[in-house]
Amino acid sequence: MTPRLLDKARPHASIWAYAGAALACAATAAAALPFQQRFDLPNIIMLFVMTVVLVAVKAGRGPAVLAAVVGVALFDFLFVPPRFSFAVTDAQYLLTFAVMLAMSLIVGQLTAGLRAKAQEADRREQIVRALYDLARKLAGAMSVEQVDEALRGFLADQAGARCWLLLAPDAERLVPAGGCPVELDHLDLHTAQGVCKGHRPVTSSALDEPGRSRHFLPLSGATRNRGVLVVSVPDGAGEIPPLLEALASLVSTAVERLHFVEVAHGAQLEAMSERLRSSILSALSHDVRTPLTALYGMADSLAMSRASLPAEAADTALAIRDQALRVSDMVGKLLDMARLRSGRVSLRREWQPVEEVLGASLKLLGPALDGHPIAITGLDVLPLLEFDAVLIERVLCNLFENAAKYSPPGSSIALEALARPAEVELRVCNAGEGFPPDRLDRVFDAFERGRPEGRVGGMGLGLAICRAIVEAHGGMIRAFNPPSGGACVAFTLPRGCPPSIEAETLPPEGEL
């Protein structure tokens, strides 16, 4: 058990020490008395001086002074003729008394000083050891509660001080670390708040009960204040206040370390849940797609051998095939949506011409375009754009598919490209009925369909997917009905700074 510093920090020796000093002088006198005849007076003086030294070592400064005075008095009374009287016959004895008193005082004071220094060194060593112990505990603390507990233990053991650890989870709030601090009142919290914002420690005895003073120390971290340490120290624990700043920096290091551990742990958790989510998605996608692939393939095989089937069965086979394809398409869209909604789609952006991805989506759609001719304008003036080709292909496919679905058979679908200073806009327009005017801004919501009661099937995910993809690219998407009729969806892609291309010159004629 660490001894309390308080016990040793006695500013004044007790009454018992003085009594002891007087008693020691009396004992010396009593011991010397029988030898009074045989010893010379100077030797007796030595005995008294030695007594003063012993008293100084044992009891300190004050008792040593008393012992010096009492020693001289006893010497005069008991040993100097005329004995048993304070009267002095020989004047030279006055000098003896003066020297004896001076010597006793000086030796006594020197000895007491040494003793005090040794004691102080002891105390310091103890504090240092306790601090070291605390630092070790703080370094090993796994939670803020443990930091709080170690700190409380240290301050209570060393100085009978109380403390409260207030943490700042953000710039505005202060919350107690280990449960609710009932002892802190509104004024305390207000002061702590000010200290946390002002980054300067505050000491006040007015805020505490009499006999104690209250210290508010900011816990400065590398990036911001981590909180405030409030310590109530009893008056007289002189060694503690200078230590408090060191203590606060120890605590702030520990709290900051715990904060970063928590941050790292959070990031790890998030990465784990992200991995889990994507592995669930890919497992789901595999498990759902595999039977659909088989279903589609088998129906297709059956439809291919239609010559050997009755007409009705052949039609059924075709219908099964088409339905399987539709389900597969829906599953694809749902999985796309889930992936985009998870918010962590990593774009594989590359610089490329729009023309290429447009061609790829038209080829991919093929029969789904249902014979609608596509009229393309404005492509040749477009710069290279930076986008994820797979995702933008999906946007174009969804837009063309919608345009074909909601327009009269055989009508043409227009793709228009407009180059603006900071962005490029692509518009897909059809000659259909247009979006219902009151739903224009809602068509991009998931599971929202332009004409819910319409004859055309669908889940209402296509445009929601388009919006998620376009917004991930830093673009905008909107729907409108142009005055000339039909429906349009327009989306933009930022132009950015295209990479430079080293131009290649044509070789001279005849050489290729």
Partner 1 sequence: MTGAMILIVEDDSQIRRFVRAALERDGLRVAEAQSRREGLIEAGRCRPELVILDLGLPDGDGADFVADFRAWSSAPVLVLSARSTEHDKIGVLDAGADDYLTKPFSVGELLARVRALLRRGRSHPEAEAAVVCFGDVEVDFSRRQVTRSGVRIKLTPIEYRLLATLITHAGKVMTHRHLLREVWGPVYSESSHYLRIYVGHLRHKLEADPAQPQHFLTETGVGYRFQL
Binding site for partner 1 (CB under 8 A): 285-286, 289-298, 300-301, 304-305, 321, 324-325, 328, 332, 335-336, 339, 348, 350-353, 355-364, 374, 376, 379, 384, 388-390, 393, 498-499, 501, 504-507, 512
Shortest CB 316 distance to partner 1, Å: 17
Q: Which is nearer to partner 1, 133 or 300 (CB)?
A: 300
Rounded CA-CA distance 74/48 in Å is 9
Shortest CB 356 distance to partner 1, Å: 5
Query: Under a CB-based contact definition with an 8 Å cutoff, are residues 387 and 473 in contact?
Result: yes
End-to-end CA distance of the chain: 95
Amino acid letter, 157: D
Q: Which is nearer to partner 1, 241 or 332 (CB)?
A: 332
DSSP class of 175: E
Is residue 469 classed exposed, middle or buried when 0-12, 13-18 and 19+ CB atoms within 10 A define those classes?
Answer: buried
Shortest CB 457 distance to partner 1, Å: 19
CB atoms within 10 A of CB 188: 21
Rounded CA-CA distance 262/267 in Å is 9
Tokens of 151: 């700190």
Q: Which is nearer to partner 1, 26 or 295 (CB)?
A: 295
Q: Which is nearer to partner 1, 300 or 471 (CB)?
A: 300
Shortest CB 223 distance to partner 1, Å: 37
Strand ranges, E, within 378-420: 385-387, 413-419
CB atoms within 10 A of CB 350: 11
Query: Under a CB-based contact definition with an 8 Å cutoff, are residues 216 and 230 in contact?
Result: yes
Quickly tell me which residue has 């004895």 as its tokens.
93
Shortest CB 143 distance to partner 1, Å: 41
| Nearest C-alpha neighbor of 63 from the set 138, 12, 115 | 12
Shortest CB 393 distance to partner 1, Å: 5
Length of the chain: 512
Q: Which is nearer to partner 1, 15 or 501 (CB)?
A: 501
Shortest CB 271 distance to partner 1, Å: 19
Q: Which is nearer to partner 1, 205 or 301 (CB)?
A: 301
Q: Which is nearer to partner 1, 207 or 324 (CB)?
A: 324
